[in-house]
Every structure is written in C-alpha cells, then in structure tokens.
Structure 1
Amino acid sequence: MGRIKPERRTRTDLIVTALIVVAVVVAGVAVWWTSSARHSDLQTATERAPVQLPAENVPRTLAVKWSAKSDVTSVPQITRDSVMSAADGTVTAHRADNGAQVWRYHRDLPLCAAAAGWQGGDNSVVTVYRNDRGCSEVTALRGVDGGRHGARTSDADDSVDLSIGADYALLYGPTRLETWGSNLVRGIEYGRVDAPVNPDVGPGRTGCRLYSALSGADRVALVERCDGDHGYRLSVFSADQTSDEKIRQWGTTMITTSAKGPAPRVIAATDSTIAVYDGGVDPTGTVGGPTGPRIRLFTAQAESAGEHPVAGDPGAPERSRPIVDQGVISFWTGKATVVLNANNGSPLFQVADAIGPGAVMAGQLLVPMPGVISVRRAYDGHEEFTIPVDRGDQVRPVSLRVLGDTIIEQRGTDVVALGAAD
C-alpha cells in the first residue's frame, strides 16, 4: 500500500489556526479575570480543629480565651468543630480553645452575610458578597477545612439577611427572597424577579416589601406588605418548587389592621407552627383587638392559633435573631428572652431583664444577663446559678452559643470565647 501524503498546510490554514489559539487564550484570560477565584484568597486548613465533644457540666467561673472582630454576624456562627468570624471581606474559622486560624476565605468585595449550618450533614459555611447585582456572590465552604464545594450568583438586594435551617438556607432582602439546598441549588425565588421565565409561578401579589422570614422543616414563613395591603401579612410557602416549577403557598393572612407600628418578626417555623413576635402597636384582627407585646402562634397554613403576652419593645431589636438549640428556641425581645419549644413553637417561659438569646450546655439553658450568665432549667426556666462575666462597656445585645466546653458570645461587633477559669 502506497504512502499517503500528508495534507499540505496553506498560509491561510496557519493564520486561522493562530487566530483560534489567540481567541481561546483571550477567552480563558477573560474568564479568569472576571472569576471569583482571581478576586479571592482561600487558605484551607493545614490541620483540622480538634473534635468538640458535648460538655459534661457547666463551669462556675469563666475567663476570656480569645476574641475576634465579627461585625457581619449577629449571632455566633459555629461549625461542628470551629467558631466563625466575619469582617472586612474575610471569613475565618477559629479553634474554639485558643482562637487560632483553622482556615480563611477573603474576597475584595463587601461581605454581606455569613452563616454556618448543617453541622450534622454537609457542615458548611455560606458566604455572601456584594457586586453590581447586589448581595449575589454566594460561596459554600466546607466547615472542616474551608474547601469550596458550591457557588452561585443571581440578582439580589443590596442588604440581606441569611439564615440556615435544618434543610434550606434562606436569603432575603427588602424586595426578594431565595432558598437553597446545601448544594446551593435554588428552591424558590419570591418577590422582585427582573426576568421571570414563567411569570405565573407565584402568588399574584405585587409591590411586596419583605420584613422578616425564616425557613423551618420544608416551609418558609414570611412577614410582608404588598400593594393594597392595609397592614402586615403573614405568608407561608414551600421551601422548594412544585413539580411544575411553581411556588406552593400554604396560606396567607393579614395579621395587623394597619402598618403604623414596626413589622412583626418571624421567630420560629416548624412543620406545624409559625411563631411571630408582635410588639403590639397595631391591633390585630379587628379594630379594638388585643395590643401589647406578645408571641403569636399560627398554623403551618398561616391560620391564627393563639397568643401569649410577653415583655418586649414595640419593634424587635434589629440585631436580634432567634437561636435554635437542642429542643428550644430563644429570642430576645429587647426586654426579655422568650424561650419556645422547638418542636411546636409554643412559648415555655420568659427571662426578664435578659440581654440576648441563649443556648444549651450540659442540658441547661445559658441566658446572658447584665454582668452574669444565668444557668436555668431548659424546660421551666428555674434558675440554678449564675456565672459572673465582665463584658466591659458592652451592655446589650449579647447572643450566646456553645461549642464543646467553650461558651461563645457575640458582643456587638465581636465574638468572644469563654472557658472555665483556671
């Protein structure tokens, strides 16, 4: 068989090939230039944080172990084995015992929000940064070593609130809301949608302003006010779309007769009950209805199911967030910490003069109080003893979490780790 002569390459072929190579290189450089990787610095863990076992008892004396700036968070954020700080575009995982860096993630963009969640599963930290589309640059990092395991971007408001429930992360701002699974795949988007693929996916309300929202089980509870509403509205949605990619609304109802006072705040969402803090400035139901601060309960279909008077301010403090921990939910009203049953949302007791929400340690509830931490029975609120704490000039609010033997307080713009005094 004769040898086949190779095809001759003309000058035109070489020029076209060169142009294709240049185009590929330029495209690659453009992708790298605009990518999040070029604008970020990730230092993954070289050594993992020690495993944190549950505390066996509550210490009687405390000393400060370490502290770090964290002005992006309102409540201490903890992974399975480390404590987060979030400030100046940087999220850092710290060892609980001495504050040493475990891993660090930085971007040269404003940091909008950061939250840790799914400790029993994916054990992730979700970060949200602001670009020209709002707080839309989202990255999920592994809690154990900081490695990236998810990213997404979409339109968002310039200021947002991020929380992570048992199954879904929830990001909302004044005009729009999104849920994501632990893989950052979107469940629903609600509110302002600039380019809807299907305009009939959600309820027909327009011009809605979103005031507070929480996800619980497979549902999202939202306080909003839309065009034509005379007061504030509670709406309950599924956290994920239906099979035909629509938002399932389980219920919606007007919960005040006007919007003269501060908006009520969703503080708990379970598969059976929604709990809302209402400062009581506006009457509920009909004119002349009950007023005054209270916890109002609703079914998962947004139907009224009772209310309980509590001490509190007309509007819940801006940085107050509920803490869910080992069967109880605690929420600071500005004048007291209210403790709810995490299974059904019903109030158990309130701690007067508390300065923030608390958490469970060795089966007992720790509540921050002026100059002390109050140690109480988690089921009825009976005080067992107090632990002196010197917080300096920080008066309130103080949010408290527990990781192993370490008590972590969010004091204003700092997280402070406390441990048993030597």
Structure 2
Amino acid sequence: MVRIRPERRTPVDLVVSAAIVVILLVAGLLVWAHSAVRHTDSAQAAASVPDVAPATAVPAGFTPLWRARSAVTDTPAIARSVVVTADGGSVVGRDPATGHEVWHYRRDLGLCAIVAAWPSSNNEVLAAYRNSRGCGEVTALNGSSGQREGGRSSDADDRIHLVADSGYVVSQGSTRLETWGSNLVRGIEYGRVDAPVKPDVQPGRTGCRLMSATTGGDRVAVIEHCGDEPGYRLTVLGAVLNKDEEVQQYGSSLITDGTSGPAPVAIAMSSSGIAVYDGGGNRPAPASNDAPAGPVAPSVRQFTTDGVPTVVNTVAGAPAPPENVEPVTNGGLTSYFTGGTTVVLDAQNVRPIYQVPGAIGTGDVMAGQLLLPTATGISVRDAATGREVRSIPIRRDGYTRGPISLRVQGSTVIEQWGSTVAAYGPA
C-alpha cells in the first residue's frame, strides 16, 4: 500500500487560517451586537394565564383597581386574558384585576403602535417598532403568554395606525398602507411603493395622502386626498391581491366637494357597508343644485362595500373629531365619539341606531348592556334602544378633561384617557 504524504502546512497557510477564524468571529459578534435578540428584553408568563370569563351582570358599583401609563395606545388593548399597555419601547401584558405584570417585551427601538388582534382565535398582540425604514418592524406576541410568535419587516411611514378585524390587520400611514393576515404575510401594499416588484399593480392615482382606513371582511376602505383633486376620496380595495396579482379596486370616488375643512373619517366597515363620519366642513359630493353653500351638519354617511353612497344620518359632532378617538366594536355594536356625542351603530350593517349626547367617549358591552363613560361615571344603557338603565358614579383620579375610551374585560372596566389606563372592579 502506497502512503500518501500529507500536504505541508506553511507559515502562510497558518496565518491565513487564523485570519479567517478571526474574521468569522468578528462577523459573528457584529451580527449578534446588532441583532434584534441582542436588543430585546422578553419575559414570558410564568404559568398559563386563564381566559377571563364574561360577566353575567353589570355590578352595582365600581371601585378603582390600578393605573398604568400607555402613551402608545388611544384605547385600551384587550387580549383574551390580559390588558396590554405600551409605552416607550415596552409592551406589557397585565392582570386585569391587579395590574401586575404577567409578561413584557421590550426593545431599544421606538414603539409606533400596537393592536390586540384576533382574541377569539390567534389571540396575538402586534407591536410595530420604528427603524430606518419607518414603523415597519413588527413583532407578534401571544396575548396570554407574551411568547414571540413571529415577525415581519417592511417599508412604512414614520407614523402609522393599526386597525384589525376578524380577518386582517391594516397598517396605515400618511403615504402607504399594508394589510396582513394572521400569519403576518402581506396581502396588499397601497400608495407609495418605493421598489415595486411588478409595475402597474396598483390603481393609477399618485401623490395621495391617506387620511384614515378601516377594514371589514376581505375589503379595506380608505379616505384619501390625491394630487390636486377638489375633494376627499373614498376608495375600496381588496385586502389581498386578485388572481392577476394586482391590487383589486372595488370603487373609488370623491365624497366631498372641497378640502378646506377636515377630512371625513372611515369609522366602520362590514360585509354590508361602510360608515364614514363627516364633520360637515366640506360640502358632500356629488352636490345637488339645492344643497346649501358652506358647511353642512355633521353626519354619519353610509356607503355600499363598493363605495356607492346610500344614506346620510345627521348627528351631533365637531367638524374634526378628537384625533385620539378610535371606534370600539363588541357585542354587535360599534361606538364612535364625534366630539359632541357618542354614536352607536349596528356592527352588522354599520348603520347608526342612536346617539348619546351626554357621553364623553366610546363604550363597550357588558352582560348585554352598553356601558358609556360620562363626566360623573358610567352610564349603563339598554344596548338595543340606548335607554339609560342607571348611572354608576366612579372616581377618576388624575383625570381632568378629554375623551375617554371604555373597554370591558369580564366584570372589569378598563378606561383610557390621554396616556393613562385605569381599571375598575366590582365594588
């Protein structure tokens, strides 16, 4: 048998090998130093957190339980078993009865927005962080445990708003929006697309400013102003690309005859229609010949899911509703605060059924009754008719003025005003 002598290692070979090892170690350290894991502090729930059972009756009274800061949210974020607060770079899941931390997720990036999505199914909290590409660094957390369940990163505006329904989440900024499914795969991107994969995928409008958006079923409604158009536009899009891999547009038309006043706000959408709050700062379009000149009365305007106008319901309200007000949908009702009244809509057909002038914010359903915040406490109302059943006084330490968003979790009431989230339990 012939022995094959090994190749000789020269000093140069040893130097090169050492240099390669050093380069690999440095590269690994750099990747680790700049990775999301390196700059993340995550603490999951120590044990499984049980779901909160629905209340069987509205308590006779409520007493303050706890308060926490949540500057990133405008309305309390309610997961299946925790209340979620968000401030700075931190997202915290809290025990609704005590406010104690159940889990947290922290990053050294600015937190743009969060939403508690799909509580009856995936039960996730989506947190959007700001990086060099805008607010497109998104992490999905399990709402009960805080465990990281996924993430995505994409281009986004520097400020965004997240809204969710049972199917999709919409991330809307001033120049672009995206939809995501529960797997965080993008359905569509609309508006500014810096590096389109395929040309001519979107509708042909350019230079559009996106004012508000909502979603229902497999469609998205967007209020926008494009270029030098004379009014604000309602556009209805499919939440996912069509079979030709294009953004599906179901309808798009100007709904105001002017832009000098505040833009209308898309407040609700279902498989039956779209509801838009119009503060009356601009004449509606198309305008009839006998329409009054100048501002008109505030209203909730109804449109089909193709964006065709149907019914107009006059309501009390301000030309521009408060910026930090979001509609709340639960128990078959959607409530929206116009700045002058709380309008309650049927969540199925998104038509207004009554308004409550004495309310100072949005409300929620507990044990079949609607709870709305008032200046002195909580108004308990018949959900079907809006008739007040009784009024419950509560003490709001630290509250001065401004709209209040009220949510319900079991028999606990969670309110938010400004950056404060406050919980109240049965007295």
Give the TM-score category using the shorter length.
over 0.9
Match of 2:291 in 1: 289
State how far apart, in whole Å, the 2-side matches of 1:145 and 1:13 are. 52
Aligned-residue identity in percent = 49
The 3-state SS of whatever aligns with 1:243 is coil
State how far apart, in whole Å, the 2-side matches of 1:231 and 1:340 are. 26
CA contact (8 A) 1:86 1:114 kept: yes
State how far apart, in whole Å, the 1-side matches of 2:160 and 2:312 are. 29
State how far apart, in whole Å, the 2-side matches of 1:4 and 1:413 are. 79
Q: Give, in angstroms, the shift of residue 228 of structure 1.
A: 3.2
Q: Give, in angstroms, the shift of residue 51 of structure 1.
A: 2.6
Q: Give, in angstroms, the shift of residue 13 of structure 1.
A: 5.1
CA contact (8 A) 1:394 1:411 kept: no
For residues 281-325 of structure 1, the C-alpha deviation after alignment (integer angstroms, 9 at most, x for no partner) is: 211122653621000000010000111000100012101100010
State how far apart, in whole Å, the 2-side matches of 1:274 and 1:118 are. 21
State how far apart, in whole Å, the 1-side matches of 2:394 and 2:417 are. 12
CA contact (8 A) 1:64 1:419 kept: yes
CA contact (8 A) 1:135 1:157 kept: yes
Letter in 2 for 1:108: D
Match of 2:88 in 1: 88
Describe how 1:142-181 pairs up with structure 2 within 5 A.
142-181=142-181
Q: Give, in angstroms, the shift of residue 7 of structure 1.
A: 4.4
Q: Give, in angstroms, the shift of residue 221 of structure 1.
A: 0.4
State how far apart, in whole Å, the 2-side matches of 1:26 and 1:373 are. 60
CA contact (8 A) 2:264 2:278 kept: yes
Measured at CA, do residues 395 and 15 of structure 1 come closer, stay the same or move farther in structure 2, by a change above 3 Å? same
State how far apart, in whole Å, the 1-side matches of 2:356 and 2:2 are. 93
State how far apart, in whole Å, the 2-side matches of 1:256 and 1:346 are. 20
Q: Give, in angstroms, the shift of residue 26 of structure 1.
A: 3.0
Letter in 1 for 2:424: L
State how far apart, in whole Å, the 1-side matches of 2:322 and 2:341 are. 11
Alignment match of 2:406 (pick from 400, 403, 407): 400
- Kindly indicate whether residue 421 of structure 2 is the aligned counterpart of residue 415 of structure 1: yes
Match of 1:213 in 2: 213
State how far apart, in whole Å, the 2-side matches of 1:340 and 1:9 are. 84
State how far apart, in whole Å, the 1-side matches of 2:182 and 2:24 are. 34
Letter in 2 for 1:294: S
CA contact (8 A) 1:47 1:102 kept: no
The 3-state SS of whatever aligns with 2:77 is coil
Measured at CA, do residues 358 and 352 of structure 1 come closer, stay the same or move farther in structure 2, by a change above 3 Å? same
The 3-state SS of whatever aligns with 1:199 is coil
Letter in 1 for 2:396: R
- Kindly indicate whether residue 249 of structure 2 is the aligned counterpart of residue 257 of structure 1: no
Measured at CA, do residues 267 and 15 of structure 1 come closer, stay the same or move farther in structure 2, by a change above 3 Å? same
- Kindly indicate whether residue 9 of structure 2 is the aligned counterpart of residue 10 of structure 1: yes
State how far apart, in whole Å, the 1-side matches of 2:163 and 2:231 are. 26
CA contact (8 A) 1:221 1:266 kept: yes
RMSD, matched Cα: 1.6
State how far apart, in whole Å, the 2-side matches of 1:271 and 1:57 are. 31
TM-score in terms of structure 2 length: 0.95
State how far apart, in whole Å, the 1-side matches of 2:407 and 2:5 are. 73
Alignment match of 1:319 (pick from 309, 317, 324): 324
The 3-state SS of whatever aligns with 2:326 is coil
State how far apart, in whole Å, the 1-side matches of 2:257 and 2:264 are. 12
CA contact (8 A) 1:337 1:356 kept: yes
CA contact (8 A) 1:94 1:102 kept: yes
CA contact (8 A) 1:49 1:95 kept: no
Match of 1:328 in 2: 333
CA contact (8 A) 1:328 1:342 kept: yes
State how far apart, in whole Å, the 2-side matches of 1:240 and 1:24 are. 42
CA contact (8 A) 2:91 2:106 kept: yes
Gap regions ≥5 residues in structure 2: none
State how far apart, in whole Å, the 2-side matches of 1:4 and 1:297 are. 90
CA contact (8 A) 1:223 1:265 kept: yes
Match of 2:187 in 1: 187
Q: Give, in angstroms, the shift of residue 135 of structure 1.
A: 1.2
- Kindly indicate whether residue 62 of structure 2 is the aligned counterpart of residue 69 of structure 1: no
Describe how 1:14-29 pairs up with structure 2 within 5 A.
14-29=14-29
Match of 2:202 in 1: 202
CA contact (8 A) 1:50 1:95 kept: no
Q: Give, in angstroms, the shift of residue 19 of structure 1.
A: 4.1
State how far apart, in whole Å, the 2-side matches of 1:219 and 1:135 are. 23
TM-score in terms of structure 1 length: 0.96
CA contact (8 A) 1:231 1:256 kept: yes
- Kindly indicate whether residue 369 of structure 2 is the aligned counterpart of residue 364 of structure 1: yes
State how far apart, in whole Å, the 2-side matches of 1:126 and 1:347 are. 30
For residues 373-412 of structure 1, the C-alpha deviation after alignment (integer angstroms, 9 at most, x for no partner) is: 1111111111111110122433321001111111100122
Letter in 2 for 1:8: E
Q: Give, in angstroms, the shift of residue 23 of structure 1.
A: 3.6
State how far apart, in whole Å, the 2-side matches of 1:312 and 1:414 are. 25
Gap regions ≥5 residues in structure 1: none
The 3-state SS of whatever aligns with 2:242 is coil
Q: Give, in angstroms, the shift of residue 62 of structure 1.
A: 0.7
Letter in 1 for 2:291: G
The 3-state SS of whatever aligns with 2:25 is helix
CA contact (8 A) 1:52 1:81 kept: yes
Measured at CA, do residues 277 and 23 of structure 1 come closer, stay the same or move farther in structure 2, by a change above 3 Å? same
Describe how 1:296-311 pairs up with structure 2 within 5 A.
296-311=301-316
State how far apart, in whole Å, the 1-side matches of 2:2 and 2:325 are. 82
Q: Give, in angstroms, the shift of residue 151 of structure 1.
A: 1.1
